[in-house]
Chains A and B, each alone.
Chain A
Amino acid sequence: MCGLAGLCHINGPGSISLDTLHHMTAALQHRGGDESGIYVDDQVGLGHSRLSIIDLTSGTQPIHNEDNSLWIVFNGEIFNYPELRKELIADGHQFYTTTDTEVVLHLFEKDGLHCLDSLNGQFAFAIWDSGKKQLFLARDRMGICPLHYTIQNGYIYFASEIKSLFMEKKIHREMNPIALDQIFTFWAPLPGVTTFKNIHELEPGQFLHIDKGNIQIKKYWHFPVPSRAEQIDASPEELTEELTDLLSDAVRIRLIADVTVGSYLSGGLDSSGITALIAKHFNHDVQSFGIRFEESDFDESIYQKQLASFLNVNHKELSVSNTDIASHFSEILWHAEKPLLRTAPVPLFLLSKLVSESGLKVILTGEGADEIFGGYNIFKEALIRKFWSRKPEDQSRADLITRIYPNIFKNPLLKKSLIKFFAQGLDDADNPLFSHLIRWNNTKRIKMFFSDDLKNEIGNYDGIEEIRQRLPDEFDSCSTLTKAQYLESSIFLSNYLLSSQGDRVAMGHAVETRPPFLDHRIIEFMSRVPSAWKILGLNEKHILKKAFSDILPKNIIDRPKNPYRAPIQQSLFSTHNSELINNMLSETAIRETGYFNTKKVKALTTKLNAKKNINEVEGMAIAGILSTQIIDNQYIQSFPLPTTPSLKPDLFIDHRSGNSGLFAGNQ
């Protein structure tokens, strides 16, 4: 992947600062420092920092079309570009590179905004039509690649990451109270919302088009929510066969690169299946990478070893200690650009470092399988609670819930209390948000730490009501599972897993992750598979398990799902971290930022320092409070504004009035 940045004076020629463009582009160099390029004219500036994966020699961006009227900066990959390229060549388009980027540009030349419909990939890009004076920004369907923007004083500034936007000193940096409210309820801001006021993110599957001062922002793809009537009427065997073909193709096209592609191997079903597909069908020597935790409760390395030996792949393991998590927490927040209620992104940030040090730039991951195939407990929970809600007094129905969480129900003493917890909302089972309300209501308890000032700024805003308003029209006709899958995918997957735990922590070390399960053909196919074949009884990911039954050992297929987590209290509150905790959570620091109630934060830290075990909500609270304080420090109080020009682009195209030239080399 790469980083892209730019600015455009919306209504016509303006003042495009080359310094700003240089700073914005330089701020993204961690995403790919192989080379950089700049395009500038009287209305637009485009900047690009490149991680070379396809066409290592001639793919320097910005890339142009035959008559130099169209210019593109592109981040990501188009996996079906070889086919598209052939068609475009047959149509008479001429190419000067072998990149996928140039394919996107010519496809845009041919199909305009509809070019997006033909792309299978993960991407964010900006195309400037210098003839028609139109700017086109777009982001992939699931939001794997990021793209942020802000519109201020007649200009639009856009960039892969927010830190690049803040390189323009005129852009005000202020925390967005609504985003904090959302993060402290849903674990992530809602689509389009960022941590900072007036800074927006293009939503997954959305484009932005500027034409003669008019700005159009539109979704070109929606996460599918077919009604029961649209489901595929086929046997599980037929469904499995079709899925197997799709999976194989999704992996095949993601292995296209002019560099070596590796894989993440956690020991769970999803990444094991992906690694097995690569090893069996495409690359026997694939290099796999896995995490080993100091805390045994979180460790799955025994399964990674088993898989690596079974598939005979070259596996590298990274041992992660509590100290490692503590000492890199601030660093990953700089990359994530949003407060976190978890520490789980840290080990993945360290793993991408190992990948990078091993000489790899591209990794296939198992991300997205739980959402698309029905793997999460919250889905089973919703199905059981729905069934239970029809006879709330039926003890045998209530007992079903204990089967999903054998571990937490291990203590028979807690059974009644836990059943009472899961019984919440049973009287409101037709609520479209039924599956997730119980979790959101639990998480939002941590808003009790908000200060009165922050509460006043948030006012009557209700994030849950906003989600309700945003639901697709056809939502009511969907099955319980489809509804839950939609909510999980459109909030947590796109805005946390693919972002804070995906792109950001991988690109922090210039590694591109590619999740084959999020190929839109698989998403669309699986959306039409009846719920009963996704979760058969209480057996999650039934169809996926069938598809993998020939290539994975039986114990990996059958092992209970173990969510990927990392320790919070044991790491953040280790003695090693006392300085950071003291600095960021001191009464003075809390009072200074003003987001949290000093008395309550003090009570919480005292409890955490004194106690061996904290509950889940307190863990989320402390991670959320600490990360908000750190983000405030990094981005509001001490943001490193640029001083001198820091970029020497490899390619500089100057089309400003009075200047016309295309320069290669350091200008």
Chain B
Amino acid sequence: MDYTKDINQFIIDNFLFGDDNTVGNDASLLENGIIDSTGVLELISFLEETYEITVEDDEMIPENLDSIDNINQFLNKKTTT
């Protein structure tokens, strides 16, 4: 399933305050200054609440969370297992 649109919207609403031109699906959210450490926690609670998943400690790594594409893949993995 493709979650990119929803994740993108969450990021635009919550971290970019409505600015919809600035983030590509493969761009690093940390390196582009879109989210910081507090933002990571916000993102995790959004994912947990919206998709009814639990993000385990060892899953909280940039490989899973640092771009819209990575989050999409991660969500697909989580929701199919």
Tell yes or no: A468 within 8 A of B by CB.
no
The interface stretch among B1-9, B13-21, B46-54, B68-76 is B13-21
With A421-B30, A448-B17 known to touch, is A416 a contact of B36 (CB < 8 Å)?
A: no
Interface contact A448-B37, CB-CB below 8 Å: no
Q: B17 to nearest A CB, angstroms?
A: 4
Interface residues of B in 16-38 (CB under 8 A from A): 16-19, 22, 30-31, 33, 36-38
Tell yes or no: A89 within 8 A of B by CB.
no
Q: How far is the CA of A226 from the CA of B37 in the complex (A)?
A: 37
Tell yes or no: A260 within 8 A of B by CB.
no
Interface contact B38-A416, CB-CB below 8 Å: no
Tell yes or no: A431 within 8 A of B by CB.
no
Question: Which among A414, A449, A603 is the interface contact of B13 at CB below 8 angstroms?
Answer: A603
Interface contact B38-A600, CB-CB below 8 Å: no
With A414-B60, A416-B61, A448-B17 known to touch, is A421 a contact of B38 (CB < 8 Å)?
A: no
Chain A interface residue count, CB cutoff 8 Å, equals: 27
Interface contact A442-B30, CB-CB below 8 Å: no
Q: How far is the CA of A421 from the CA of B38 in the complex (A)?
A: 12
Tell yes or no: A424 within 8 A of B by CB.
yes
Q: Which residue of B lies closest to A604 (CB)?
A: B17
Q: B62 to nearest A CB, angstroms?
A: 6
Q: How far is the CA of A442 from the CA of B31 in the complex (A)?
A: 10
Q: A567 to nearest B CB, angstroms?
A: 15
CB within 8 Å: A-B pair count: 59
Instruction: Provide the A233-275 mask, 1 if CB < 8 A to any CB of B, else 0.
Output: 0000000000000000000000000000000000000000000
Q: Which residue of A lies closest to B31 (CB)?
A: A424
Per DSSP, are chain A's interface residues mostly helix, strand or loop, or mixed? Answer: helix
With A413-B60, A441-B33 known to touch, is A599 a contact of B38 (CB < 8 Å)?
A: no
Q: How far is the CA of A445 from the CA of B35 in the complex (A)?
A: 10
Q: A446 to nearest B CB, angstroms?
A: 10
Q: B44 to nearest A CB, angstroms?
A: 8
Q: How far is the CA of A441 from the CA of B39 in the complex (A)?
A: 17
Tell yes or no: A613 within 8 A of B by CB.
yes
Interface contact A412-B31, CB-CB below 8 Å: no
Interface contact B17-A599, CB-CB below 8 Å: yes
Q: A267 to nearest B CB, angstroms?
A: 27
Q: How far is the CA of A597 from the CA of B19 in the complex (A)?
A: 10
Interface contact A445-B33, CB-CB below 8 Å: yes
B19 contacts across to A, CB distance below 8 A: 448, 600
Chain B interface residue count, CB cutoff 8 Å, equals: 23
Which of B13, B37, B38: most chain A CB closer than 10 A? B37
Interface contact B18-A603, CB-CB below 8 Å: yes
Interface contact B37-A408, CB-CB below 8 Å: yes
Tell yes or no: A169 within 8 A of B by CB.
no
Q: Which residue of B lies closest to A448 (CB)?
A: B19
Q: How far is the CA of A600 from the CA of B30 in the complex (A)?
A: 20
Interface contact B62-A616, CB-CB below 8 Å: no
Tell yes or no: A536 within 8 A of B by CB.
no
Interface contact B14-A614, CB-CB below 8 Å: no
B31 contacts across to A, CB distance below 8 A: 420, 424
Q: How far is the CA of A412 from the CA of B57 in the complex (A)?
A: 8
Q: A501 to nearest B CB, angstroms?
A: 24
Question: Which among A414, A441, A600, A601 is the interface contact of B37 at CB below 8 angstroms?
Answer: A414
Interface residues of A in 598-614 (CB under 8 A from B): 599-601, 603-604, 607, 613-614
Q: How far is the CA of A420 from the CA of B62 in the complex (A)?
A: 8
Tell yes or no: A643 within 8 A of B by CB.
no
Question: Which among B22, B38, B57 is the interface contact of A614 at CB below 8 angstroms?
Answer: B38
Question: Which among A416, A448, A599, A607 is the interface contact of B60 at CB below 8 angstroms?
Answer: A416
B residues at A contact (CB < 8 Å): 13-14, 16-19, 22, 30-31, 33, 36-42, 57, 60-62, 65-66
Sorted nearest first, the 3 A-B pairs with minimum C-beta distance are A615-B38, A600-B17, A603-B17
- Other A-B pairs beyond A414-B37, A414-B60, A599-B18, 17, CB < 8 Å: A414-B41, A416-B60, A416-B61, A417-B30, A417-B65, A418-B37, A424-B31, A442-B33, A600-B17, A600-B18, A600-B19, A613-B38, A615-B36, A615-B37, A615-B39, A616-B36, A617-B36
